[in-house]
Amino acid sequence: MSADDGLPLPPSFEAYADESLAQAPAGGPGKNGLLEATFARRDDGPTRLIRDHVTVPYHLTGTLDTDPVPGLTTLVAQEPTGGVAQGDRHRMRIDARAGARAHVTTQSATKVHSMNANYAHLDTALRAAEGSYLEYVPGPTIINEDARCLQTIDIELAADAVVVVADVLVPDGLSDHEPFGFDHYQSRVEAEHDGRLVCADAVDLRPNERDPRDPASVGEYGVVGSLYVFAPIGDDHDDATAPGESDLEALIDGIHDEIADRDGIEAGVSRLPYDVGAVVRLLGHREADVTETLRGAWDATRRQLLGVGVPADRRY
């Protein structure tokens, strides 16, 4: 069974899918959200949103062209319904055509509400064509008590495209209960570069089966942050890098210098296979500390790849 035509559905979530709901059926009207957006750019001109399609609960109000990066446009995905409920299936499909530059974010954090049956699925597919630059930096995902949430991100990028993805998990929800009171949370990120698998990363937390505060999981920390930078620049050199240092090494060093020695944060940077980028993992006690550190890593990434940092009005 596939996860709504995306990555394969994990066996545990197949069992959840068999549970019927008292209200509207899982994935039924109002619960099967879809957002499709295609970006294109001609030469050195601005990036344009040339196609979009949304169904409830997604909503769009056009793009913003306030980013200091030349030719980059911003799309804000809105969800006026106020959160994700049991049986919801939310799908996002973002395509950046050759040379396009786009930043996709959300209006606020994604709130996954408490459940007593079935599960919620947040599924994102990102496609980046030749010479494009695509950022997907949504707000944090907040998981409430007894919730079951599957989050999948599927990425395909051409040989010289760049894709940046951010993810923050906040496990203590919005109600008065202990952290990690949810039933099951799984997040999977898979990426193919020029047709070759370069990343298959997963966070799978089942508090009723294993305490997430085990030292092999998140330990004493509660908030998990990740930044995925798919940038195939490992063999390039220019005057901005030290002699014998590749652009990828400079990127990793810049991110490490930015996030090192931050109070209350454990951080690490890992090189992706085939020198196609890096993954940043953060653990912290507070969402604000993790998102601030993630913003620093994202800013360092932008400065290395685009020569311009993160705008002041962007989250993280």
* Sequence spans of domains, the chain: 11-236
Residues of the chain with pLDDT under 50: 1-2, 236-244
Distance from chain centroid for Cα 278: 14
Alpha-carbon torsion, ordered 228, 250, 291, 213, to 10 deg: 70
Q: What share of the chain is helix, strand, coil (3-state, %, to 5)?
A: 15, 40, 45
Q: Which amino acid is at 144?
A: N
* The pLDDT of residue 28: 67
Tokens of 202: 């997963």
* The pLDDT of residue 177: 66
Distance from chain centroid for Cα 22: 31
d(CA 281, CA 283): 7
* The pLDDT of residue 242: 43
**Dihedrals φ, ψ of 14, to 5°?**
-60, -40
List residues bridging with 35 in a β-sheet.
54, 92
Asked whether the beta carbons of 92 and 125 are under 8 A apart, the reply is yes
Asked whether the CA dihedral 34, 291, 83, 19 is positive or negative, the reply is positive
**Dihedrals φ, ψ of 187, to 5°?**
-125, 130
At 163 the three-state DSSP class reads: strand
Q: What is the pLDDT of residues 252-306, one digit of tens each?
A: 999 999 999 999 999 999 999 999 999 999 999 999 999 999 999 999 999 999 9
Pairing label, strands 223-230, 277-284: antiparallel
* The pLDDT of residue 241: 42
Asked whether the CA dihedral 259, 272, 121, 212 is positive or negative, the reply is negative
